[in-house]
Amino acid sequence: MDTANFPWLTTSILISDCCCPYLIPFIPDKDGKTVRWYSLVVGLIDFCILVYAFYTQYDFSNPDLQLVESYSWVSSLDLRWSVGADGLSMPLILLTGFISTLAILASWPVTFKPKLFYFLMLAMYGGQIGVFAVQDMLLFFLMWELELIPVYLLLSIWGGKKRLYAATKFILYTAGGSLFILVGALAMAFYGDTVTFDMRSLMQKDFPLNFQLLVYGGFLIAYGVKLPIIPLHTWLPDAHGEATAPVHMLLAGILLKMGGYALIRMNIEMLPQAHVYFAPILIILGIVNIIYAALTSFAQRSLKRKIAYSSISHMGFVLIGMASFTDLGLSGAMLQMVSHGLIGASLFFLVGATYDRTHTLILDEMGGVGKKMPKIFAMFTTCSMASLALPGMSGFVAELMVFVGFFDQRGLRLTLLR
Amino acid sequence: MNTIAWTGAFTAFLGASIAITQNDIKKGLAYSTMSQLGYMVMAMGAGAYGAGLFHLMTHAYFKAMLFLGSGSVIHGMEAVVGHDPVLAQDMRLMGGLRKYMPITAITFLIGTLAISGIPPFAGFWSKDEILGSTFAVNPGLWLVGYLTAGITAFYMFRMYFSTFEGPFRGNDAGIQKQLKVEHFQRLGMSIGPGAMNPQELTLDAGHGEAQGEDHADHGDHGGHGEHGAHHHSSEPHESPLTMTLPLMALAIPSILIGLVGTPFANYFEAFIHPASEVIEGVPSEVDWTEFLTMGGSSVGIGLIGISLAVLMYLQRKIDPGAIAKTIQPLYQLSLNKWYIDDIYNVVFVQGSRRLARQVLEVDVRLVDGVVNLTGFVTLITGETLKYLESGRVQFYALIVFGAVLGLVLVSGITDGVGEWGMGLGWGVNNI
């Protein structure tokens, strides 16, 4: 087998998205025990493929797009199935594989409609990798939607008491945001002489400033819902408050990162002129995000909602890093996304594990949990330390990079004086 | 520089004035530390960098020893009153401990003498150096530091006497109950005014009971030790060697370390400055008159403080309670640590909580409210519009007819205004 030309990314997307989930209905299984092993093995294989592909094929010193696979799909539209990975998407793809596999492991106690549950989990797995890997705007939109529907179903079937309200709110918010993606993508594709959906070609196109500003604004709304940016955040506490632990891990660990990734990939790389105009707004929004969400988190009495708001707060750093116009700030934003993906997912998993045992999320009703569950207590403390950015933990490095990048003289002058 | 110096002087005075009334042995030492740090900052502000650093070093030795000694005392007290910080750390329950724990007592006395600025102990040399250099800069600053030195000597000896001298009060059930009640009252206050602590009630009941018991075995003092279930013995004990050895080890530098920085041979000053640098402010020759006046006066005020403490807490010639009553507001101010904790609690702790709750309120009511309102309006619009699609053809025909009629009317009114309107009007009329 020619490993260099083997379509690793396509395989990893297709395994979890197109092949394996559809076998689930044919697995003879009454209580879901076989299905969960099956899903876990599929998730592990997928993760191993990704790790192997990046380990052997990915050149870390090369900033260009690598592992590119491109096949013609609808030639009349110049629509291609093209995937690839660069420094921006590679860590997020790995994060997705890691968190999704763990989320499948974390959904071990799910006994209600297990086949559908694991089907949706696997479908989401592929959709998420797809979002980070595809290099085609229309395909990106397709993947973006592909991952929405499983989340909606996972929320509305396995959620808490207010699950229907939360799921509806989620789907309306995100589907509303998706409209802007589609409109923006089409506008960019059909602008000028050539019709192309390829991201590389779109970056070459020279859009006028007004066009850029308009598309940038639309994308900002779409991805701002996902990140989330205040005041587009209210779906998040509801969705996070109602989701079960594994869905929760995916929501916090990966879905929020899709917003940040897309903002960097499209708004910054494709619409650089508009980004200069929008950067101060991003910084203000980021600061509002950090302070406002932190205060709200402080006042929350429900553990899940508390951590949900702290996620919003952490995403503010991503916004500031993006708007810093420095390599360091942008790297900090990326690292913040990865580190929050790990910290947020583990915190939400621990909250889920606590909830399974205490059957309450209200802080006032808890107390003395540490004595009964010392291991969960120790891990929760560790994750909280990482979340508060204790020096030596990943959160600290990320936030420090964002701060230093933001205060870099050249960058600050660019942002303030423009 | 001036601001720094005055901040330091104020801190020194503030810490000392709080330490003077504290009953918790560790809190007393903690506020004393704050006061001594004020001295160091004052020295920085007065430009006496070396003196401040020298005090930092000497203070490190004797304050470490004092804190270790207080730990040893608490450890000994726990044998009597049980593992309760409210009881074990309160000096009102101590007294006479020198008999039970001699090593701790001697080392604590050394530390007390050192911090009070009695020669030749370490604290004298460093504090004298600070006061001397401050006097050269600003006599007002010096006065604050000088008075604070007197207060320091007073409260440190108050601490020493009430801990190690006099009769042992650890078995006094009355004081124990009083401390418990005070503790719960403080707790109740921090929970909120009017909040009744259930433990307080049971404690009051227990208090009466204990008093009755107290009367019952009044004649038999030995019986006191068996009061509470957690009482192990009626006498405190000396701590093991693991605690006393560090105490003794720290006692040696507490006595001697000051000698490296005497005005006659200031090795310390020479040590912290590079050899090439000309040391300013330190005269090469010793000015004996100045040294004797400065040193003598600071020893003098130290001795005054000590004598006051002797009169009040050793010989009990003056009743400290009566003094506290006559200057009640000042006493309360000092006892409650100038209410700084309470102000911080109201402004910062409660304030940020209130702010957070209001932000959450805004988030739920306003931001989320707008979202829900959007959904609601969509729903209502849909519900209203669905009556238009009744499925009856006549109704649709009526709407079409109405629309055409409206168009005709509009074109009739605007006829001739524009080319487009004219053409439309002509076309409709022809039908």
**Residues in A 153-182 with any Cβ partner in B closer than 8 A:** 169, 172-173
Q: Residues of B with CB below 8 A from A295's CB?
A: 352, 355-356, 359-360
Chain B residues with beta carbon closer than 8 angstroms to that of A313: none
- Grade residue A215 by pLDDT with cuts at 50, 70 and 90: very high
Could you say which of A169, A233, A295 has the minimum Cβ distance to residue B356? Answer: A295
How much of chain B exceeds pLDDT 90, in percent?
Answer: 21
Q: What is the mean pLDDT of residues B366-383?
A: 85
Question: B interface mutation test: which of A174, A285, A298 has the most B CBs within 10 A?
Answer: A298
Q: Which among B357, B359, B375 is the nearest to A292, CB-wise?
A: B359
Q: Residue A114, preceding bond cis, omega within 30 degrees?
A: no
What is the spatial distance between Cα A22 and Cα A14, in angstroms, rounded to a whole number?
11
Average pLDDT over residues B132-157: 90
Of B359, B370, B375, the CB nearest to A295: B359
- Among all residues of chain A, which has the CA nearest to that of B355? A295
Contact criterion met (CB below 8 Å) for B77 and B94: yes
Give the chain A residue nearest B354 (alpha carbons): A299
Give the position of tokens 């230093």.
Answer: A404
The answer to whether B375 contacts A172, with C-beta atoms less than 8 Å apart, is yes
For an interface test with A, give the residue of B363, B372, B376, B378 to mutate (most A CBs within 10 A): B363
Q: What was the pLDDT predicted at B214?
A: 41
Contact B375 A292 (CB under 8 A): no
Answer yes or no: is pLDDT of B229 > 50.
no
Is the pLDDT assigned to residue B215 strictly greater than 50? no
Per-residue model confidence (pLDDT) at position B189: 56
- Residue among A124, A298, A269, A147 nearest B354 (CA): A298
CB pairs under 8 A between A and B: 32
User: pTM, whole model, 2 decimals?
Assistant: 0.75
pLDDT of residue B160: 92
CB contact under 8 A, B353 and A298: yes
Whole-angstrom distance, CA of residue B243 vs CA of residue B93: 22
Nearest CA in chain B to A301: B357
State the smallest CA–CA distance between residue B1 and chain A in angstroms: 30
- Give the pLDDT band of residue B212 (cuts 50, 70, 90): very low
What is the overall mean pLDDT for chain A? 86
At residue B280 the predicted structure's pLDDT band, cuts being 50, 70 and 90, is low
ipTM: 0.70
Per CB-CB distance under 8 Å, the chain A contacts of B352 are 295, 298
Pairwise CA distance, residues A144 & A128, whole Å: 8
Q: Kindly give, in sequence order, each residue whose CB lies less than 8 Å from that of residue B176, ignoring residues fewer than 6 positions away.
A: B81, B87, B93
pLDDT in tens, B189-208: 554 444 444 444 444 444 44
Mean pLDDT score, A263-284: 89
Helix (H, G, I), strand (E, B) or coil at B411: helix
DSSP secondary structure of B230-292: T---SS--PPPHHHHHHHHHHHHHHHHGGGGB-SSSBHHHHHHS-TTSPPPS--SS--HHHHH
Taking 50 as the threshold, does the pLDDT of residue A408 lie above it?
A: yes
The residue ranking higher by pLDDT, B225 or B65, is B65
Nearest-Cα residue of chain A relative to residue B360: A296
Q: Does A77 touch chain B (CB under 8 A)?
A: no
Tell if the CB–CB gap between A298 and B356 is shorter than 8 Å: yes
Mean pLDDT of B112-124: 88
Provide the 8-state DSSP code for B336: T
- On the question of pLDDT at A410 being above 70, the answer is no
Residue B198 has a pLDDT of 46
pLDDT of residue B415: 67
Tell me which chain B residues have a C-beta less than 8 angstroms from the C-beta of A292.
359, 363
| A contact residues 189-208, partner B, Cβ 8 Å cutoff | none
A169 interaction partners in chain B (CB closer than 8 Å): 371, 375
What is the residue extent of each domain of chain A? 1-135, 163-418
Instruction: Compute the average pLDDT of residues A176-186.
Output: 91
Contacts of A231 in chain B (CB under 8 A): 367, 370
Could you state, in order of their start, the residue ranges of all structural domains in chain B? 2-171+227-335, 346-383, 390-431
Average of per-residue pLDDT across B11-22: 91
Q: Which helix (H) or strand (E) holds A274?
A: helix A272-299
| Residue A252 contacts B, CB cutoff 8 Å | no
What percentage of residues in chain A have a pLDDT greater than 90? 25
Look at A299 and B359 and tell me if their CB atoms are within 8 Å: yes
pLDDT for B314 equals 83
Per-residue pLDDT reduced to its tens digit, A34-79:
888 888 888 898 899 889 888 888 888 888 888 888 888 877 777 8
Any idea which of A207-211, B56-60, B259-263 has the lowest mean pLDDT? Answer: B259-263
Summarize the confidence of residues B262-281 as an average pLDDT: 67
A318 has a pLDDT exceeding 70? yes
Q: Which residues of B fall within a CB distance of 8 Å from A296?
A: 356, 359-360, 363
Nearest CB to B367 within list A173, A234, A300: A234
Pick the range with the lowest mean pLDDT from A2-6, A183-187, B60-64, B286-290: A2-6
Give the pLDDT confidence score for residue B220 in this predicted structure. Answer: 41
**Distance in Å, alpha carbon of A304 to nearest chain B alpha carbon:** 15
First to last CA, chain A: 53
Q: Which residue of A has its CA nearest to B369?
A: A234
Q: Do B356 and A234 touch (CB under 8 A)?
A: no
Q: What are the two backbone dihedrals, phi and then psi, of residue A301, each rounded to the nearest 5 degrees? A: -105, -10
> Which of B360, B367, B370 has the CB atom closest to A299's CB atom?
B360
Tell me the C-alpha distance between B210 and B225, whole Å. 13
Alpha-helical (H) ranges within A159-271 are 163-190, 199-204, 209-226, 235-242, 245-250, 256-262, 269-270
Percent of chain A with pLDDT over 70: 97
State residue B268's pLDDT score. 78
Q: What is the pLDDT of residue B222?
A: 40
Cβ B86 vs Cβ B25: under 8 Å: no
DSSP A233: -
Query: Cα(A53)–Cα(A45) distance, rounded to whole angstroms?
Result: 12
pLDDT in tens, A326-381: 888 889 999 999 999 999 999 999 998 888 888 888 888 887 888 888 999 999 99
A305, closest residue in chain B (CA to CA)? B360
Q: How much is the pLDDT for B153?
A: 92
Better-scored residue on pLDDT, A32 or B402: B402
Compute the nearest-CA separation of B186 from chain A (Å): 22
* pLDDT score of B381 more than 70: yes
Pick from A172, A234, A296: which is nearest to B359 by CB?
A: A296
**Tens-digit pLDDT profile for residues B319-345:** 888 888 888 888 888 888 888 888 888
Residues 207-236 of chain A whose Cβ lies under 8 A from any Cβ of chain B? 230-231, 233-234
Interface test with A, best of B358, B362, B371, B373 (most A CBs within 10 A): B371
Residue with tokens 């900052």: B41
Nearest to A299 among B356, B370, B375 (CB): B356
Least confident of A26-30, A113-117, B73-77: A26-30
Answer yes or no: do A295 and B353 touch at CB < 8 A.
no
Give the separation between CA A340 and CA A334, rounded to whole angstroms. Answer: 10
Task: Tell me the CA distances in angstroms from A274 to A190, A259, A271, B398, one per residue in order.
Answer: 19, 18, 6, 51
Q: What is the pLDDT of residue A342?
A: 93
Q: Region B350-356: what's the mean pLDDT?
A: 89
Nearest to B367 among A231, A298, A299 (CB): A231
Judging contacts by C-beta atoms under 8 Å, the chain B residues touching residue A300 are 360
